[in-house]
Amino acid sequence: MGFPGTWMTESESVVYRVVPKCACSTIGQILYYSDHGDFFDGDIHDSTAGLHKWAQEHSQKLIEDNVKSHRSLAFTCVRNPYTRVLSSFFDKICGIQRNGRRYRGNLVPTLIQKYGIEVGKPEDGFEFDQIKSFRRFLLFARDTIRWRRPMEPDIHWSAMSGHIATYIANGGRYDEIFWTEKFNDGMQKVLDRIETPHKVILKDIPRFNESEGHGPKRAHPVEDYFDDLSMHLVYEIYKKDFQLFKYDFANPANKMPTGEIDLDEVHAKLGD
């Protein structure tokens, strides 16, 4: 199986396990900058040179050798499950993608037909009942994760623990896992522990939010989207994420972590 979703700088200063919807565009650009002294021109997910990625065949042996011998510091970044699944809905289901089309072709028409979801369109300013549609999307997300229908689960709304576990199961070990909500603190800890060809001054790094501006803006506070049933579904899908990464399941309004991540616990529970 190898190390899907793993990126590594060409200098091998650091290894990063990508978790979708967790600041991965910004992190990828920081890694690129740390080697080259400038940013990749475009969405870092589209780069095919300048950064080793498991999806690039020529990078795989280099990544595998590094990870298995733990030559470089390895890290990942996580996010509150409530805000992450909301972000997935607004970006991937409601938004128009970089190619000018809807995400995954027939996915949105399927959701409209089978789950009664509305997504609005740019011409009407994305006017639709966001709360009702999001709650129906959650049913769909649960169905994909639990029963793998009407399609396989998508990387953008499958649990973070699942992404993070593949790296451990295949012989990797994390040195740092930090929260999107405390991004500068966490990313600085990583930078303090590694040597890079170009120095990164975090306060000067822009945020690369590639999904911004392509869909509707969230019209309500996070907690308004989650009633009792929605919270139950979220817990069913993301129970391990809440427990391992110390987020507050009982209060969707609280996006901040409530405790410290225990790396030994993460490796023990996700390495089975």
203-227, pLDDT tens digit by residue? Answer: 999 988 766 667 788 999 999 999 9
Model pLDDT, residue 183 = 97
The stretches in the chain having pLDDT less than 70 are 210-213
**Rounded to whole angstroms, how far apart are CA atoms 247 and 249?**
6
Q: What pLDDT sits at residue 247? A: 98
Number of domains into which the chain is organized: 1
Going through the chain in order, the beta strands assigned E by DSSP cover 6-9, 14-17, 51-53, 73-78, 176-179
Per residue in 103-114, pLDDT (tens digit) is: 988 899 999 999
Is residue 16 within 8 Å of 7, Cβ to Cβ?
Answer: yes
Range of the domain at 146: 1-272
Note whether 63 and 10 are within 8 A (CB).
no
pTM for the full predicted model: 0.95
Strand 14-17 to 73-78 pairing: parallel
